Structure 1
Amino acid sequence: MAKNDTPDLLVKGSPDQRTLVRVPEGVFGYVGFAAYRLTDGDELPVESGDKEVCLVLLAGHATVTASHPRRGPFAWENIGDRQSVFEDKSPYAIYLPPHSEARVRAHGSAEIAVCEAPGNPDETLPPRLIEPASMRRSSRGKDANTRYVCDILPDSAEAHALLITEVITPSGHTSSYPPHRHDTDDLPAQSFLEESYYHRLNPEQGFAFQRVYTDDRSLDQAMTVENHDVVLVPRGYHPVCVPYGYTSYYLNVMAGPTRAWKFHNDPAHEWLLKL
């Protein structure tokens, strides 16, 4: 893709709207994403069609009812265990295979992420609740490159294409750093995965910076990211920097032709790993 053909990689959020942000149709070949804020009693219908969907309950409480033509009806009542993405807790999530229908009903205010990727309609994975206790939590990096990771839907969990992770980056720290990319289908060395970053800041008037760039600089965009914005990563390296005084949260959604996360570090900055 030529540089002039590259779309703007920053999708601005709408903090005062029910639809907080949505990745436009046709920008990605694999990843779909939207986030919603629901008020008490508000309902969000979800139809997966030929895609697989993971609903991530980012904050608040909700009841999710779902049905699948081969698996029948499902219901998960009043799930949720945190009021903010910045709490030191993992979220609840629900996996929906292709041809599922679901309805999310909020109990009080709730924030929901709808993550999508191409599904395999011939697979028979059932709709399922993904509980916080099943999610691996870890830290990466050291010193001012430390960040805290929760694997919501890793490649060790059943799905066709989706990979989902959330990351907390402390004040003044870097993240997704040293810069890495996963845009070449060359396993086992590297996998091709598109990626979206859904950003939250605490306090909410804060901002962070994210750069997306390739080795030849045919893609090179540096963005000021605010609360509820999404950054699109179709290819290239994609580090994040968080200014002093603010904490960063982002939800990563990745998908590609093969469900594996194998990345390549920017050689110019790989020396940082030896510090």
Structure 2
Amino acid sequence: MADLLVKPIGSKGQTIHVTPQSAGWSHVGFDLYQLAPGEMAQANTNDREVCLVLVSGKARIIIEDVDFNILGERMSPFDGKPDSVYVPADHDWMVTATTPVTLAVCSAPSTGGNLPPRHIRPDKVTQETRGTGTNTRYVTNILPETAAADSLLVVEVITPGGHTSSYPPHKHDTDNLPAESQLEETYYHRLNPPQGFAFQRVYTDDRTLDETMLVEDGVVTLVPRGYHPCATVHGYDLYYLNVMAGPKRTWKFHNDPEHEWLLKR
């Protein structure tokens, strides 16, 4: 099994590189780029679809012959909604930073849906509040199952300091629809202020997988299976960008029965 905690390598260029092969699974890929003004990231999607998420900063984004011009409205993932661009299979993409940029490249296998490239505008993404009390968190649906895509599901979440998230613990590792879907998942974590920390546990019912990870600013955690709650400490807000994909593009989860009573309080 792959190490479930992926730390950035360096602070410039491509700092995170998660592939299905490195993660030991079949669907989700995740790359992160840190670009200075004038620097560029580019690739071909090959047999995968991609969602480019401007975590922070402004950049010019070009997909084949479609120039989306300069996108980006926020300088921090804790400030407003993101600009994102959907890129179908077998397309070249190019992102050129005009300010310091943090770019997430979320990918999953294409099923040949032949969708066109499109700008996912900040004013078109939906937001919702989940949970109550110290389980309250704020969700931005970048590429939910109601939006057109082949495999990808992309969402970001802000969890206030001292709160829990992805909680009560839930899992989506079994192809048992309509009760539960099988989805791999990555979490890209940021903290505000950045010297803070949080924790994430990934565990299964039989505890054959049971890992608790220290989450610091900029790390990625992998969820191949099992429940995966996280919690951030007092004074430090937690942002995470989730990428999910599996055999069927739907998010149906199963709560840990031991903790489901919390939903009935």
The verdict on a shared fold, with TM-score over 0.5 as the criterion, is yes
Residue 100 (structure 2) pairs with residue 112 (structure 1): no
Contact 2:171–2:225 under 8 Å retained in 1: yes
Residue 260 (structure 2) pairs with residue 270 (structure 1): yes
Residues in 1 aligned to 2:245 and 2:11: alpha-carbon distance in whole angstroms: 29
Partner of 1:57: 54
Residues in 2 aligned to 1:30 and 1:80: alpha-carbon distance in whole angstroms: 28
Q: TM-score, normalized by length of structure 2?
A: 0.97
Range 103-112 or range 22-31, more displaced:
22-31
- Residue from 180, 197, 211 that aligns with 1:190: 180
Aligned pairs (5 A) from 1:1-275: 6-14=1-9, 16-26=11-21, 27=23, 28-67=25-64, 73-87=65-79, 89-121=80-112, 123-275=113-265
Letter in 2 for 1:49: N
1:14: Cα distance to partner? 3.6
Contact 1:15–1:228 under 8 Å retained in 2: no
1:7: Cα distance to partner? 2.3
Letter in 1 for 2:123: A
Partner of 1:3: none
1:15: Cα distance to partner? 5.7
Give secondary structure in 2 for the equivalent of 1:108: coil
Contact 1:15–1:227 under 8 Å retained in 2: no
The percent identity for this pair of structures is: 53
Give the ranges of 4+ consecutive aligned residues of structure 1 lying more than 4 Å apart after TM superposition: none
1:17: Cα distance to partner? 2.9
Letter in 1 for 2:13: R
Residues in 2 aligned to 1:49 and 1:24: alpha-carbon distance in whole angstroms: 14
Contact 2:20–2:26 under 8 Å retained in 1: no
Residues in 2 aligned to 1:149 and 1:20: alpha-carbon distance in whole angstroms: 25
Contact 1:237–1:266 under 8 Å retained in 2: yes
Instruction: Let me know the Cα RMSD of the aligned residues.
Output: 1.0
Give secondary structure in 2 for the equivalent of 1:82: coil
Residues in 2 aligned to 1:206 and 1:169: alpha-carbon distance in whole angstroms: 13
1:47: Cα distance to partner? 1.0
1:65: Cα distance to partner? 0.9
Letter in 1 for 2:105: V
Range 9-18 or range 175-184, more displaced:
9-18
CA displacement 1:12-47 (0-9 Å, x = unmatched):
124623223222551231000011111101010121
Residues in 2 aligned to 1:134 and 1:247: alpha-carbon distance in whole angstroms: 25
CA displacement 1:77-102 (0-9 Å, x = unmatched):
11110000011x11010001100101
Contact 2:12–2:35 under 8 Å retained in 1: no
- Give the unaligned 5+ runs of structure 2: none
Letter in 1 for 2:2: P
Contact 1:183–1:236 under 8 Å retained in 2: yes
Q: What is the total number of aligned residue pairs between the two structures?
A: 263
Contact 1:51–1:118 under 8 Å retained in 2: yes
CA change 1:80–1:215 in 2 (3 A) is same
Residues in 2 aligned to 1:208 and 1:93: alpha-carbon distance in whole angstroms: 26
Q: TM-score, normalized by length of structure 1?
A: 0.94
Residues in 2 aligned to 1:20 and 1:246: alpha-carbon distance in whole angstroms: 23
